[in-house]
Amino acid sequence: MTAPEGNPAAGGWTEPRATALLVLADGTVLEGFGLGAVGEAPGEVCFNTSMTGYQEILTDPSYAGQIITFTFPHIGNVGVNEEDTETVNAAASSGVRGCVLHAAITDPSNWRAAKPLDAWLKARNIVGICGVDTRALTALIRDKGMPNAILAHNPDGVFDVARLKRQAAELPSMAGLDLVPLVTAAQRYDWDETPWAWPTGYGKRETSDYKVVAIDYGVKRNILRLLAKAGCDVTVVPSTASAEDILALKPDGVFLSNGPGDPAATGAYAVPVIKELLDRKVPTFGICLGHQMMALAIGGQTVKMKQGHHGANHPVQDKTTGKVEIVSMNHGFSVDPASLPANAVETHVSLFDGSNSGIALTDRPAFSVQHHPEASSGPQDSHYLFDRFVALMAAEKAKQAA
C-alpha cells in the first residue's frame, strides 16, 4: 500500500501515484491506494454503517457479488483472528468481492488479533482500496442507488481506464442473479457449536430437545450457534435439497437461512421446496433471504431496493409486542407488504423507511424476519426470535401428541 511521502529535493510534498481505482458503471473513477489482493474485482457497491465487526461483515456470505464501502473511517485497527469468521463453507472463501475504506489500515492493537487485516485480505483474495472519500461515495449511493463497479488494484499504478469503464458498464444487475450456488454447502453436515463466552470461548451443545434442518443459502456460523444454544440438534443441508430429503430427517422444524442475490432467482428451485414444507405444517423460521423466499412461497413478491439496508444500527419495531429493537441488517431486496396474502401478518417493520421486516402465517406454524437476529456483527436485541422458534416447535409437538 502506497502512502504520501515527502520529496525534499523537489522542495515540497508530492502526490503519490494511485495504486487502486474504483470505476463505477456511469464512468466515475475514484482513485486511492490499493490494499489486500492485487487484481480486479467486479461487483455491486453498497455501504455498511457498522462501527465494529468488520471481519464478520467481510465473511458474511450474503455479500457475495458486492463491494462494501465502510462508512466508519477506521477499519482494521483490531486485526483479524480465527474465531470471528462467519462463512461456514471454506470453499466459498468469502462472500464479498472487495472493500472500500477511508483511512489506511493500521497495525492491529488487540489481544485477539492473529494477523493484520491487509494480510488477511490478500490470503482471501479480496481486493481493497483506501484513501477514498467514503462520505461522498455513500451520498452518491443514497441519491442514485447501488452502482455496479470494477475495483482494480495494481501496485505499479498502471490501469486501462477505458477498458475498466466498459467492463463496469457491462456488468449485469443484481436483479435476476442467483448467487447462492457460490456460498451454499456442497453436502449435508451436523452442527453442535454454541456461542462464544468468556473465558472458555465457543462451547458444545450437550443435549437437544428438537431436531432442526437448516437449509443453507449462505448461512452464518452464529445463526447455527444460537440454534444449538436453544437446544436444537442442527443438520445443515445444501440449498438444492429436496423436500423429500429434508422430511426424511424427521425435523421438528426447518430453518431458512440468509444468503446473497435476487430471492426470485433462487426461488426458482427453492420456493417449491418451501411451499411443500409449509403445506406439511412443519414449523419454519426464516432470516433475510429465507424471509424473502418464504414470502414468495405464499404468493408475495420481492423488489430491489435503491440503497439496501447494511449496518448494525437499524431500528425495527416488533409489532407483536410494540418494542423497538436495534438490529443488524444486510439486504438489497425487500418483501412488498402489499403483495402478501391475507394469511400473512406483518410482525416487524423498519423504522428507517417503513419497509417490511417480518411476517408470521396465521394458518401454518411459520414466521420470518428480514434482519439478522444472530447479531454477528451487531446488537443482541433480537436473540429472542430463536426462543420464539423453539416455542413454535414445542407447540406443534404438543398439538401432535394431543
Domain extents in the chain? 17-170, 180-401
Q: 10 pLDDT band (50/70/90 cuts)?
A: very low
pLDDT, residue 92, reads 54
Pick the catalytic residue: 309, 310, 348, 372? 372
68 has a pLDDT exceeding 50: yes
| CA atoms within 13 A of residue 222's CA, in its CB half-sphere | 24
Residue 71, classed as helix, strand or coil, is: coil
pLDDT tens-digit series, residues 250-264: 999 999 999 999 999
Place of cell 424427521: 250
**Confidence at residue 400, expressed as pLDDT on a 0 to 100 scale:** 86
The mean pLDDT of 264-269, rounded to a whole number, is 98
State the average pLDDT over residues 184-194.
96
CATH code for the domain defined by 180-401: 3.40.50.880
**Confidence check: pLDDT of 155 > 80:** yes
Q: Which residues have C-beta within 8 Å of that of residue 182, sequence separation ≥ 6?
A: 64, 65, 92, 260
Q: Which residue has the cell 504520501?
A: 4
Mean pLDDT, rounded, of the chain? 94
Q: List the catalytic residue out of 56, 325, 374, 396.
A: 374
| pLDDT higher than threshold 50 for residue 375 | yes
Whether 314 has a pLDDT exceeding 70, the answer reads yes
Question: Is 374 an active-site residue?
Answer: yes
Helices (H) and strands (E) in the chain, counts: 9, 21
Judged against a pLDDT cut of 70, whether residue 339 lies above it is answered with yes
- Helix, coil or strand: residue 306: strand
Other beta carbons less than 10 A from residue 364's beta carbon: 19
Grid cell of 349 as nine digits: 417493520
Q: Which of 288, 309, 314, 331 is catalytic?
A: 288
Confidence check: pLDDT of 6 > 60: no
The 10s digit of each residue's pLDDT in 28-66 is 999 999 999 999 999 999 999 999 999 999 999 999 999
| DSSP secondary structure string for all residues of 112-160 | T--B-HHHHHHHTT-EEEES--HHHHHHHHHHH---EEEEEE-TT----
The torsion angle over the Cα atoms of residues 72, 77, 78 and 82, rounded to 10 degrees, is 90
Arithmetic mean of pLDDT, 274-291: 98
Give 3's pLDDT tier (boundaries 50, 70, 90): very low
The pLDDT of residue 198 = 87
- The pTM for the full model equals 0.94
Q: Report domain 17-170's class.
A: alpha beta
Local structure of 282: helix, strand or coil: coil
The single residue listed with the C-alpha cell 416488533 is 318
Q: Does residue 223 have a pLDDT over 80? A: yes
Read off the C-alpha cell for 396. 406443534
pLDDT (0 to 100) of residue 11: 44
Residue 284's pLDDT is: 98
Sign of torsion over alpha carbons 213, 240, 287, 229:
positive
Question: Looking at residue 89, what is its pLDDT?
Answer: 74
Tell me what pLDDT residue 8 has: 35
Tell me the pLDDT tens digit for each residue of 91-137. 555 679 999 999 999 999 999 999 999 999 999 999 999 999 999 99
